[in-house]
A and B are shown apart, each in its own frame.
With several copies, the nearest count.
Chain A
Amino acid sequence: MIDEPFATGSTLFHKRDARVKIVGAASISLVLALNSSIPAAVAGCLVTGSLLILSRPEPLSLCRRIATINVFTLFLWLTLPLTYGGEEMMQISFLKLHLDGIHMASLITLKTNGIFFCFLALLATSTTVSLGHGLERLGLPRKLCFLLLFSYRQLFVIHQEYQRLRRAARLRGFIPANSLHTYRTYSHLFGMTLVKSWNRGERVHQAMVLRGFSGKFIPLDQPQLAKEDYLFLITMLLLSLLLTGLSLSLLPLS
């Protein structure tokens, strides 16, 4: 359930340092997020789509993730054309469709998917661990990055603990339903998970103290950026510039 299916591989995306990928992904996603013209969004989708193909993701997991993302856009397609308002209208039997709404739904679908492709190509090809370290080297507060890395480390332990408790409940004939008993049971399962997490936190803290921790995190140094990393970064920034130009020049005239 909790896994990183795209993080292993040997494409040029996997080999790049997490820092340049984070900066690259941020700049491209930002441009795509702020754009409001459909042709530029199409171009963005094509660009990030090609990046995604170059990163050679595992097809099955890819389809599943794309489907997840588009559940929400599907919801927009079902609602926006009916609710968006605006002047232009199209009547199909008793339904009044707003062209503006359809326009908006298409734009969002393109943007959402474009940004998502970029995320998969650039960030999902790194492990969470290297992303955490990358963020730290990019100047995010150290406490926050350690919080991220420690939480990541403990996620699996806690999730397994919860699942074992839930299994115990199932074995005693628990079948979820719409009832107070069900909600109380889930609360107890989660409450017990919290209690265990809490106590584990104390023990892990002791482990840190025993290894000389006194309130200051000292990171191990990380590899320097290679020439290819800089090249990669420049390419990504150029792509973002290109897309910016496109979206500005294609801005719908008002």
Chain B
Amino acid sequence: MIMRSQPPLLELRDISYSYPDHDSPLLEGINFSIHKERIGLIGPNGSGKTTLFQIIMGLLKADTGEILLEGKKMETEKDFQQIRRRLGLLFQNSDDQLFSPTVLEDVAFGPLNIGATPAEARNTSISTLKQLGLEGFEERITHKLSGGEKKIVALATILAMHPQLLLLDEPSNNLDPETRERLITILRGLNQVHIIISHDLDFLASTCTQLYAIEKKTLVRCEEKQVHSHEHIHPYGNQPHQHGT
């Protein structure tokens, strides 16, 4: 990492975590910092990617290690409340993230909680929705949206709080190709610092500049920009396909 005068936006130092009922730790000695990068994060199922996001947001408490926001150590619940205002987490499942009956209310929920007046919250929400191409969605009932629409609305609920860093947990999962493309365009347009968990490397390639992986309980940086080819000695290679991860 290049030395800069400014402290990193977010820094993790020697984070370890284990779930109470497991014998061996899930994550161990995680060191990581982010300034203005756009980072992709990969790793096998159950390797603790989602858990890492929860630790960063203060939803789970790390066993050891420190989390620093702009050089300031986060310790108390108050500190983490501050983290939550400045970092936005997009859940793997949008149905867990959208809980208000209408889209406008859901998007306005965050701004209202951090002290906006109802009128301000309404304006912020409407302009965020517009930014994501969701004009006219304000009064739609959230549970009646399609899967792809839900994902974009969930993104709106987070952007309405003007986060400095976005954490996206498998955002392209279960999206049809069109919505996936739309999401890529949106993320490229936002110009936001972000960390994206995904198994979909094409998606990461189009939205990120660096790649990290969770390997053997810790976070490692991957090499970049490689062109490779591989041979399919199996049948059906002429069909669009994916390789087992």
**Residues 28-47 (chain A) with a chain B CB within 8 angstroms:** none
Q: How far apart sit A36 and B121, CA to CA, in the bound complex (Å)?
A: 51
**Interface status of A167 (Cβ within 8 A of chain B):** yes
Q: How far apart sit A171 and B109, CA to CA, in the bound complex (Å)?
A: 11
A210 touches B84 (CB 8 A): yes
Please count how many residues in chain A sit with their CB below 8 Å of the partner chain's CB atoms. Answer: 47
1/0 per residue A154-185: CB within 8 Å of B? 10110001001101111111110000010001
Task: Report which of A188, A210, A218 forms a contact with B118, defined as CB distance below 8 A.
Answer: A218
A138 to B: closest C-beta gap in Å: 17
Residue among A192, A208, A211 with max Cβ neighbours from chain B (10 Å): A211
**Interface status of B100 (Cβ within 8 A of chain A):** yes
Q: How far apart sit A167 and B96, CA to CA, in the bound complex (Å)?
A: 9
**Residues 23-76 (chain B) with a chain A CB within 8 angstroms:** 57, 59
Residues of B within 8 A of A152 (CB): 101
Residue among A152, A154, A208, A218 with max Cβ neighbours from chain B (10 Å): A218
A218 touches B143 (CB 8 A): no
B59 touches A206 (CB 8 A): yes
Task: Report which of B59, B104, B110, B143 forms a contact with A173, defined as CB distance below 8 A.
Answer: B110
**Interface status of B105 (Cβ within 8 A of chain A):** yes
Q: A129-B101, A188-B99 are in contact. Are A220 and B57 (CB under 8 A)?
A: no
A247 to B: closest C-beta gap in Å: 38
1/0 per residue B83-105: CB within 8 Å of A? 01100110101011111111011
A169 touches B109 (CB 8 A): yes
B161 touches A168 (CB 8 A): no
**Residues 97-126 (chain A) with a chain B CB within 8 angstroms:** none
B84 touches A212 (CB 8 A): yes
**Interface status of A195 (Cβ within 8 A of chain B):** yes
Task: Report which of B122, B142, B143 forms a contact with A220, defined as CB distance below 8 A.
Answer: B122
A153 touches B89 (CB 8 A): no
Residues of B within 8 A of A188 (CB): 99-101
**Interface status of A144 (Cβ within 8 A of chain B):** no
Which residue of the partner chain B has the closest CB to A192? B99
1/0 per residue B129-146: CB within 8 Å of A? 000000000000111000
Q: A173-B85, A175-B81 are in contact. Are A153 and B101 (CB under 8 A)?
A: yes
A212 touches B97 (CB 8 A): no
A214 touches B91 (CB 8 A): no
Q: A157-B143, A171-B89, A210-B89 are in contact. Are A203 and B96 (CB under 8 A)?
A: yes
Q: Which 6 A-B pairs rank lowest in CB-CB distance, beginning with the nearest? A: A212-B113, A173-B113, A211-B110, A172-B110, A164-B96, A203-B96
- Interface pairs (30), CB distance under 8 Å: A128-B101, A129-B101, A129-B141, A149-B100, A152-B101, A157-B95, A165-B99, A168-B99, A170-B59, A172-B110, A172-B113, A173-B81, A173-B85, A173-B110, A173-B113, A173-B161, A174-B113, A175-B81, A181-B112, A192-B143, A204-B96, A206-B96, A210-B89, A211-B109, A212-B113, A218-B112, A220-B105, A220-B121, A221-B119, A221-B122
